[in-house]
Amino acid sequence: MTRWVVAIAAALLVIGSGYVVFLNGEPTVVRLTPGRSMQAPLAGALLAAFAAGGTAVGLLAAGSAGLRGWREWRARRRLRRDARRAEATTRARDLLWHGDSGQARTELLRGEGGVPADVPALALLAETYLQEGDPDDGLVRVGFDPRLLDFLAEACERTGDLRAAAEALERARLAQPESPRLARRLRDVYAAAGRWPEAVSIQGQLLLRVREPSGLAREQQMMRGLRYQAAFAESDPRHAARLLVALAREDPTFVPAWVGAGDLLARAGRTLAARRVWERGARHRPAAVLLERIERANAAERRPERTARVYRRLVRRHPRAGALPLLFARFLVLHDRFDEACEVLRGLREPTAGNAFAHLVWGELHRRQGHHDQASAAFAQAAGPQLAGASSFRCASCLQLAPAWEGYCPACRRWDTLRADAELAVEPAAPRASIATSPG
């Protein structure tokens, strides 16, 4: 049937062409160029023009179909290559699981012409060298691709080999020195290894590239924390104290700098300078750790009245600091100044007046005065030793309990997050400074 239709169409085309030739038999001039022309039958010129147009349309259609077919062929080829790569990765993972790292590496590198391009294969390739305990030799054989180096560094971190992780990231940064992700990764590895000066150097380079105000604030917090740790790495305590005082002046609310500077000065025998540093820090932010150090310093000199004056000035300076009057009342109770303690406790406002620490101070006050019944006495007997001793500290970020105050929480890798009981009871949303891991 199709052949008959084609034959009829061809016959009609021939008849139509003959009819056109019959009607247009006279010659006409056809100009091929401005200076060249020829005479041809009008019907022949028309038919030649139609034929040329049909040929052009056919060539365009054929080219489009060919391009479409070529793209489909490439897509099928890519799918086959991805399928083979996925199968090779699966086989390599099974071989690596059974301990055959060499054969697994052969599977991963087969047909790649170098380092694999996909992330899972790169991770497995890095793991093959780490399983053999020879990451450096693996780098020489495979090359210095930054992605592979990054994966090797991550694997080294997981095994606790921070030196190898730092070396891998250093080599990766040689290939991509402008990568902020590699810079942050290397900074974090330096910090985890306690190489604080190198971490400070990397952080300084990152600060120069930050433009957004929010991102700049986070990076500046990170820089303060790293500088704080780098100061403690100094061999000269006095020089370290000067570095911390300079850091505290830049950010007066960064409590670890005030505490650390005072501690270093106290160890060097400069107790007066240490007390002044703590008092200056408390004027900017009356943290419990600073107040307790001031109390101990004045108690060693048998000058408790000096501590009371510091508390009174701070209460006037920071009327909204909820923990401050509680700590002042505790100090007064411990020094048997009951009337003043009652006056401070009665002046507390809600919700400070109703929290657990306030009740603890009231209980100890009543216990020492002897104005309580047997149940109150039992409660005060249990709470009294805790009240009389130093505060316990807990991280406001990860809630990890700490035996003593520190400027850095190793559990969540944040600075200036340890808070006393009184502070956590009154100010649960205390300001925090994180190590920003992040971002990659």
List residues bridging with 402 in a β-sheet.
Answer: 393
Are the CB atoms for 355 and 363 separated by under 8 Å? Answer: no
Question: What pLDDT does residue 43 have?
Answer: 67
**Alpha helix (H) residue ranges in 233-354:** 237-250, 255-267, 271-284, 288-300, 304-317, 323-334, 338-346
CA angle 164, 166, 169 (to 5 degrees): 110
Question: What pLDDT does residue 370 have?
Answer: 74
417 Cβ neighbours under 8 A, 6+ residues apart: 395, 396, 397, 398, 409, 430, 432, 433
Question: What pLDDT does residue 117 have?
Answer: 60
CB atoms inside a 10 Å sphere around CB 336: 9
Per-residue pLDDT of the chain (440 residues; tens, 9 = 90+): 778 887 888 788 777 767 666 566 667 766 667 777 777 676 676 677 777 888 888 888 888 888 999 999 999 988 888 888 788 888 888 887 887 877 887 777 775 555 566 666 766 776 776 666 655 555 545 455 787 788 778 877 877 888 988 988 998 888 888 889 999 999 999 999 999 999 999 999 999 888 888 888 889 989 999 999 999 888 888 899 999 999 999 999 999 999 999 999 999 899 999 999 999 999 999 999 999 999 999 999 999 999 999 999 999 999 888 888 989 988 998 888 988 988 888 888 877 777 777 777 777 787 777 765 544 653 554 455 455 555 678 888 888 888 788 888 888 888 888 888 777 767 654 444 444 443 33
Question: What pLDDT does residue 89 have?
Answer: 81
CA distance 402 to 394: 6
Question: What pLDDT does residue 341 have?
Answer: 86
Q: What secondary structure, in 3-state letters, does 81-96 show?
A: HHHHHHHHHHHHHHHH
For residue 125, with 0-12 CB atoms within 10 Å meaning exposed, 13-18 middle and 19 or more buried, which class applies?
buried
List residues bridging with 36 in a β-sheet.
Answer: 33
Residue 262, CA atoms < 13 Å, CB-side half-sphere: 25
Domain map of the chain by residue range? 322-390
Question: What pLDDT does residue 437 have?
Answer: 42
CB atoms inside a 10 Å sphere around CB 417: 26
